Structure 1
Amino acid sequence: MLIVLAFIILFHLAGAIVLFVATIHNAWWVVSPAGRDVIYTDLWYSCNSTCYPVENSHTTEAAYLQAVQASMILASILCCVSFFVFILQLFRIKQGERFIFTAIIQLLASLCVMIAVSIYTAEKKSFHVASLRDGSYGASYILAWISFPMTLISGLMYLVLRKRK
């Protein structure tokens, strides 16, 4: 049982790390113009040799981008809260009970990741100025999609898991 518990904790922490890296790292969109430096764009900045804020990110035209930003931050927070609730429930709930509250929080984190990445996928062209539209998805975008099933599976594991001696 201790091995299963260690696996669940490590899987949750791995999912949280992937989620944090996807949120923070600056490679959601990558543009490689001919003869110039590669431009990496994340949810807040576009960077080549210098970084500058994503154009119009503070306006109502960027409401989609703001929704992606908020959803990824909320998913990161919920994932951390879920881990702390799991540790607390590990010592508080009675033998034989399930980790329902932890599972609900983790499934909400998974839902937030799915919402954020889906919005980014659907509206990617509206986020970027014309010079950046001919790019491709970057590593952070892929990590965000990887963090979705990791948080979902983690939440489902908490639903199934019962406290034992």
Structure 2
Amino acid sequence: MLIILAFIILFHVAAAILLFVATIHNRWWVVSPAGRDVIYADLWYSCNSTCYPVENSHTADAAYLQAVQATMILATIFCCVSFFVFILQLFRLQQGERFIFTSIIQLLASLCVMIAASIYTAQKKSFHVPSLQEGSYGSSYVLAWISFPMTLIGGLMYLVLRKRK
């Protein structure tokens, strides 16, 4: 049982780290124009040698970008909260009970990641100025999609897991 518990904790921590990196790191969109510096764009900034805020990110035209920002932050918060709830329930639950509350919070994190990555996929062209539209997805975008099944599997593991001696 101790090995399973260690695996679950490591799996959850790995999912949280992926969410943090995907939310913070500036590699959601990569543009490499011929003969110039590579430009990296994330949810907040576009960077080449210097960083500048995403154009019109504070306006109603960028509502899609704001939705992606909000859901990625929510996913990260939900993942961290579910870990702390799991640790609390580990010591508070009676033997034989399930980690339902932890599972619900982790599944909400999974849903938020899926929503954020799906919105970004569907609306990526409207996020960036015309000079940045000819690019490709970056590593943070890929990490967001990888963290989706990890948080989903983690939530399902907590749903099935019973507290044993």
Q: TM-score, normalised by structure 2?
A: 1.00
AA in 1 matched with 2:104: I
How far has the Cα of 1:159 moved from its partner?
Answer: 0.2
* Matching residue of 1:75: 75
* Counterpart for residue 135 of structure 1: 135
Shift of 1:93: 0.6
Q: Distance in 2 between matches of 1:33 and 1:57?
A: 23
1:104 is displaced (CA, Å) by: 0.1
Structure 1 residues 41-56: aligned runs within 5 Å: 41-56=41-56
Gaps in structure 2 of 5+ consecutive residues = none
Give the SS at the match of 2:164.
coil
| Partner-residue secondary structure (3-state), 1:164 | coil
Task: Report what 1:114 is aligned to.
Answer: 114
Structure 1 SS opposite 2:95: coil
Matching residue of 1:16: 16
Q: Deviations over 1:57-83 (max 9, x none)?
A: 000000000000000000000000000
SS in 2 for 1:5: helix
Partner of 1:7: 7
Q: CA deviation at 1:123?
A: 0.2
Task: Name 1:103's counterpart in structure 2.
Answer: 103
1:24 is displaced (CA, Å) by: 0.4
- Which 4+ residue blocks in structure 1 deviate beyond 4 angstroms? none
* Aligned equivalents of 1:105, 1:130: Cα separation in 2: 38
State the distance in 1 between where 2:104 and 2:48 align. 40
1:37 lines up with 2:47 in the alignment: no
- State the SS of the aligned residue for 1:40: strand
Q: Secondary structure at the match of 2:113?
A: helix
Q: Percent identity?
A: 87
Structure 2 residue aligned with 1:94? 94
Give the secondary-structure state (helix, strand or coil) at the position aligned to 1:30. strand
Equivalent residue number for residue 161 of structure 1: 161
Q: Distance in 1 between matches of 2:58 and 2:38?
A: 24
How far is the alpha carbon of 1:12 from its aligned partner?
0.2
Instruction: Report the CA distance between 1:10 and its aligned residue.
Output: 0.2
CA RMSD of aligned residues (A): 0.3
Shift of residue 18, structure 1, vs aligned partner: 0.6
Q: What stretches of structure 1 of length at least 5 have no aligned partner?
A: none
Q: Give the whole-Å Cα distance in 2 for the aligned partners of 1:153 and 1:19.
A: 14
> How many residues in Structure 1 have an aligned counterpart in Structure 2?
165
